[in-house]
Amino acid sequence: MSKITIDRYDLALLDALQRKGNATNATLGEQIRLSASQISRRIQRLEEDGVIAGYVAMLAPSALGLGISAFAQVILERHSDTASEAFEQAVAAMPEVMDCFSVSGDADYMLRLVVPDLTAFSELMMKRLLRLPGVARIKTSIALQTVKQTHVLPLDHLTQPTRSSKRIRYAES
């Protein structure tokens, strides 16, 4: 695995792209003080290095009738590769499951779910998730209010040499 070098221009570019991914290279260049062609080359390098994983449009769930967000802690009956793989494949195919993490602690998995209403939530739980092979228990919590939700990753740690990733090197430019 090769080491990725990121400088202050890359950091500024990544921050700007996280906040407005559809900005033109010219707009980004004005903001960061680089030419549009330099922005283009940097973006291409960051994509090739796997730093930029992709681009999406952030949709407003409530504007699309998805009014319920919930979290589910899933506990499996057995801990085996087969049970885990079967569960992971099943939840990967469910569009209501926005995120699925294998976690430490009391649960085996943590899911973030989005559904239109409580009826849809009940159906998802009772007729689909609880019926998955290997599921022993599910503990759920419905979000009452979104206090903070962001897709913007913190990048300040990259400028701290002692705390930065072993795969990423920050270079002053």
DSSP bridge pairs for 76: 135
The stretches of the chain forming alpha helices (DSSP H) are 8-19, 25-32, 36-48, 81-92, 118-123
Residue 163 pLDDT greater than 60, yes or no: no
Residue 168 pLDDT greater than 90, yes or no: no
What pLDDT is stored for residue 98 in this prediction? Answer: 97
User: pLDDT of 68-126, one tens digit each?
Assistant: 999 999 999 988 888 899 999 999 999 999 999 999 999 999 999 999 999 999 999 99
d(CA 169, CA 46) in angstroms, rounded, equals 13
d(CA 128, CA 90) in angstroms, rounded, equals 10
Residue 14 pLDDT greater than 70, yes or no: yes
What pLDDT is stored for residue 113 in this prediction? Answer: 98
| Cα–Cα nearest to 72, from 158, 140, 145, 155 | 140
Q: Number of helices (H) and strands (E), helices first, in the chain?
A: 5, 6
What pLDDT is stored for residue 164 in this prediction? Answer: 52
CA 110 to chain centroid, in Å, comes to: 13
Domains of the chain by range and CATH?
A: 4-57 (1.10.10.10), 61-142 (3.30.70.920)
DSSP bridge pairs for 73: 110, 139
Residue 166 pLDDT greater than 90, yes or no: no
Looking at every residue in the chain, the average pLDDT score rounds to 93
d(CA 109, CA 107) in angstroms, rounded, equals 6
Q: What's the predicted TM-score (pTM) here?
A: 0.85
Q: Which two tokens stand for residue 4?
A: 């990725």
User: pLDDT of 42-60, one tens digit each?
Assistant: 999 999 999 999 999 999 9
pLDDT band at 157 (very low <50, low <70, confident <90, very high): confident
